[in-house]
Structures are given as structure tokens and as C-alpha cells.
Amino acid sequence: MDERPIGVFDSGLGGLTTVRELRRLLPGEDIVYFGDTGRVPYGGRSAETIVKYARQDVAFLRTFDLKAIVIACGTVSTTALEVLAAENPIPVLGVVAPAAAAAARATKNGRIGLIGTQASIRSGAYERLIQAQNPAAQVLSQPCPLFVPLVENGRFRRGDIVIETVAAEYLAPLREAGVDTLVLGCTHYPLLEEVISAHMGPEVALINAGAEGARAVACALEGADALSARSRGTYRYFVSDRQEDFSHLASIFLGWDVTEAVGQVDISQY
Amino acid sequence: MDERPIGVFDSGLGGLTTVRELRRLLPGEDIVYFGDTGRVPYGGRSAETIVKYARQDVAFLRTFDLKAIVIACGTVSTTALEVLAAENPIPVLGVVAPAAAAAARATKNGRIGLIGTQASIRSGAYERLIQAQNPAAQVLSQPCPLFVPLVENGRFRRGDIVIETVAAEYLAPLREAGVDTLVLGCTHYPLLEEVISAHMGPEVALINAGAEGARAVACALEGADALSARSRGTYRYFVSDRQEDFSHLASIFLGWDVTEAVGQVDISQY
């Protein structure tokens, strides 16, 4: 039993889709969330910059006495997980290994599609992890740099010609290659599940990296006997830019209304 | 006569459209350009964060012995110009006042449209400057948060259904309001001139803030007898994230091939 909170961070607000899944699985856990809204997005930046930013995000979260840190960001998970895990004495868990494992299990024809940010694709992390478990698997990757800004501007609903056109272009090579499994490798993408599923067809299994990450956290804490005994946890939210828009946007990602106060952090000081 | 270089900065690469105009007007000037690609975009961030980032950008540029600094960024010009001008002993020139003056002169019916980032619109800077020169002018503003990511992803050409749809939505209220002048208040937007002009109609005058800014710099230097006597200047480029993609993207904004080496700067150290 461990009543300390779980720290969760993302480059922005997409990681709240992982918080949503964590609350579903572990309603008794306290969560401290940090979204680096002052420097979002990370997905087009260099590995060096992403590692630097992620270290500061973790340093801020560790001002709380945490039992674990969840990297609720596909880009940081692919690019900085090993460094962060090596540098910190508490477990640091990402979304990539769980999603890669789920994809390796789900595929029947051995052809797995992967969509994510440019940095995530460039890292090659998904390919390595999938092929470690299923050496015959082929991974076809497609960076989707416009998905994050489109989701953040509310363009994620079916029938919106803008997201439908962009999704059709990004997904066509994966559909034509006959993938039977598609990894949504960025925590913003669950909001696009309906759009993506319509383009890929109902027979293609979608793997939600953030949700797989949340399941892995639940297993890890249970295995270490580190779950909380509370029936209901609390939520604290911090961002690195202005707090005004947070409640509105956050509720889209979380699926519930945010009523808590939101803290602002000067992240460059960490 | 002053042979020192002009410093030019932007949140990213959009400001290169101003460098393009500066070279056309002042081919003998040396230019030092800084693009904050590690923290781009600024346009959705708070005023506090924008001022902080802009101070660091100027501090880096001032490691060179400059004769003037040009803020080739609509967002910084609307949000941080006064602070930067007050803090620095060399002239700091933005793109807003020149563009506002050009719009106030150009309008016949007194209805001026303004498109820009959320931060630029929120600042109210254009309204204040336009109405100072033309108190009867009405300014109708429309934030266009998707224009920057769409341009950066190469979606700025006529006939692209994505940019055409987004442009039609953003511009419809301005067209319906009957504006006869439209300020392109962000240095990325000159690449969208054809798309915007097609939606607004040929009778609407488009004011390119970056180009107006470049003209104002040329006048200011000439008035102070501070132009260079060279026939051809040199160009130095610096960015805060990886340099790999710079030459390709920069040549789109500049309209010529970039062959110079590009420097990388740890901007958080300034």
C-alpha cells in the first residue's frame, strides 16, 4: 500500500487522455499532472531538446513525493524514457513499451502501422520494441505532424473536411499496405479514434498508446503492492503557460469537467 | 554610414519573409537572423511567456554588435515591442506600427480586417495604432491559429482543400463585414497571399506586416544615415533547435537557396 500520488506529464494537454484511463482503472489514486503548455508541441523538435525539456518536467514533478512517474506523451516516451528512468529513483513508465507489446500481440498478418509525431517516428523505438517481441513483424510508420494542432483547435470530429482530408492522406499508405493493427502513438490521437477507424476500416485494431500505458502502470503498482487504499483520489493540475484556457480544453481530453484550481509553473527554473 | 549588421528574429522561420523584403530593399546590409525553433510557436502563448522568450532572443542577438533589431514576428511586435525598445540602447523596430499605418492609409470605407495569432489579436495593439491615425476606422479581428502549422507543413497552395477550407472559415466574417483592407499580421501569412486574396476578392487590399516592417527599417536607417555602403551584404542564420531541416524550410520563406552554415543556440541560457 502506498498513498503517495502518481506524477503524470505531457508536452501539453494530450496526456490527459492517459489520466482519464488511469482514473477508470485506479480511481483511488492521487494524480499530479504537469502539461508543458509553454513549450508545446514537442513532436517536431530534436531529441536533444526533448530530453532537456523532459528532465525539467520530471524535476518539477519530483518536488512532490511521488510513487511513480508516467510519461503520458508518445514523443517523450520514445525519445527520453531510458535517460529519465536511469536518472530517477522511482519508477518512470512510458506509453511505448506497453503499446508495442499490445500491437505485437494483436496483429495476425504481421503488418503493424504506426502513427505519431516526427520525433517519435524518427526514434525508431516502436520498431525495436515490436520486433523484439515479434521478429517477423513489419512496422510501417507515418508521421502525422498536423494531427496535434488540428485536435487542439477542435477539429477532430467526423465529417470535418479538414481532419478527414488530412487523415485520408496520412493513412492511405498504411491502408494500402494492408496493416491489420494501427498504433496511435501520441496521446492526442484517442480523440481521433472515430475518424481514424473510419479511414482504416473496422477490421483494423487500433492500439491506444496512452490507455496501454495506463494499464501497465496499474499492473506495475499492483505487482509492487503500491496501490492506494482510498476509494477516490484527488487531482492536481499544473501548466507552464497561462491557466485561463485549461479547464475548457482539459475537459475535452478528460471527458469530465475540471473544477480544481490550476497551478502555473516556471518550468525553465527546473 | 554604419556597417554593423541588422539583427532580425522571429519565433521560427516565418520572419524570413521579412529578411526577403529587407534584402530586396537593402541588398548591402549584413543580417543576423535568429529563429526560436526550439520554442515555436509563440502565437498561442501568454503575454508573460512571450515577453520572456523575446528578451532572451534579443539578448542572444545582442552578442553581435548590431545597429538595429527587427522583430520579424507579429506576435512579439504586438506583445513585447515596448518592453524591448525601452530596455535596449539600439533601435528595436517591429512590424505592427508600419502595418497599422499602411492599413489606415489604404482603407477607403474605414473597415479594416486583421488576421493574426491569438496573442496578437488579444493584445489589441493593431486596433490602438490604427485608431490613433484614423479614429473612425473599424477594426475587425480574426485569430487564425491553424495558419502557422498549415504553412509549416507545406499546405499554403491554392487548390489544397485543407487550407482553402480553413481560410474560408476564418475569412468569411471579414468578407461579410465588407472590409476593404486586410492586415496579414503574422510573418507566415505572405505565403498564403494567393489563397487569402482569392477568398477576399481582388478589391480588398492586403497589407503584409513583414514587408511594411522592412520598409520602415529602410526608412529609419536612411533617416539616421546608418545604411551600409556595401553593394552586397552577408547572411548569418541561427536557430534554437536542430539545424537539419533549416535550409529546406528557409528557402521556402526566403525565395532563394540557403547555402550558409546554420548555428544552433541554447536560447534558455540568455
**Residue range A184-238, pLDDT digits in tens:** 999 999 999 999 999 999 999 999 999 999 999 999 999 999 999 999 999 999 9
Torsion angles phi and psi, residue A114, rounded to 5: -135, 125
Assign residue A178 a region (left: φ > 0; alpha: ψ between -120 and 50; beta: otherwise).
left
Q: Which CATH number describes the domain made up of A6-94+211-269?
A: 3.40.50.1860
Strand intervals (E) in chain B = 6-10, 31-35, 68-71, 92-93, 111-116, 138-143, 181-184, 205-208, 235-239, 262-264
CA distance to partner chain B, nearest, from residue A74 (Å): 18
- In this predicted structure, what is the pLDDT of residue A248? 86
Active-site entry in B40, B58, B68, B73: B73
Are A111 and A228 a contacting pair, CB within 8 Å?
A: no
Q: What is the pLDDT of residues A114-138, one digit of tens each?
A: 999 999 999 999 999 999 999 999 9
Does A144 have pLDDT greater than 90?
Answer: yes
Who's near A249: CB < 8 A, 6+ residues apart? Answer: A13, A152
Are A112 and A99 a contacting pair, CB within 8 Å?
A: no
Q: Which three cell numbers stand for residue A164?
A: 478527414
- Give the count of beta carbons closer than 10 Å to the beta carbon of residue A222: 12
CATH 3.40.50.1860 in chain A: give the residue spans. Answer: 6-94+211-269, 96-209
Q: What is the identity of the amino acid at A104?
A: A
Q: Residues 161 to 190 of B: which have CB under 8 A from any A CB?
A: 161-162, 165-166
The conformation of residue B167, written as its DSSP 8-state character, comes to: H
- In this predicted structure, what is the pLDDT of residue B246? 87
- Per-residue pLDDT 10s for chain B (270 aa) are 999 999 999 999 999 999 999 999 999 999 999 999 999 999 999 999 999 999 999 999 999 999 999 999 999 999 999 999 999 999 999 999 999 999 999 999 999 999 999 999 999 999 999 999 999 999 999 999 999 999 989 999 999 999 999 999 999 999 999 999 999 999 999 999 999 999 999 999 999 999 999 999 999 999 999 999 999 999 999 999 988 778 888 999 999 999 888 999 999 999
Which residues of chain A make contact with B38, given a CB cutoff of 8 A?
A: 45-46, 49
Q: How far is CA B144 from CA A43, B120, B166, in A?
A: 21, 10, 9
Does A162 have pLDDT greater than 90?
Answer: yes
Active-site entry in B186, B206, B221, B254: B186
- In this predicted structure, what is the pLDDT of residue B149? 94
- In this predicted structure, what is the pLDDT of residue B117? 94
Q: Which CATH number describes the domain made up of B96-209?
A: 3.40.50.1860
Does A245 have pLDDT greater than 80?
Answer: no
Does A250 have pLDDT greater than 80?
Answer: yes
Who's near A184: CB < 8 A, 6+ residues apart? Answer: A115, A190, A192, A193, A196, A206, A207, A208, A209
Are A140 and A114 a contacting pair, CB within 8 Å?
A: yes
A69: three-class secondary structure by DSSP: strand
> Residue A197 and residue A190: Cα distance in Å, rounded?
11
Active-site entry in A13, A54, A58, A73: A73
Considering only CB atoms, A45 lies closest to which of B38, B46, B153, namely B38
What one-character-per-residue DSSP string does A89-130 give? Answer: SS-EE-SHHHHHHHHHHH-SSSEEEEEE-HHHHHHTHHHHHH
* Separation of CA A125 from chain center: 14
Q: Residues 18 to 47 of B: which have CB under 8 A from any A CB?
A: 37-39, 45-46
Residue A219 annotated to the active site: no
> Residue A27 and residue B34: Cα distance in Å, rounded?
47
> Residue B16 and residue B31: Cα distance in Å, rounded?
11
Are B89 and B67 a contacting pair, CB within 8 Å?
A: no
Which residue is associated with the grid cell 522561420? B13
Taking residues A179-186, what's their average pLDDT? 97
Which residues of chain B make contact with A49, given a CB cutoff of 8 A?
A: 38, 240-242
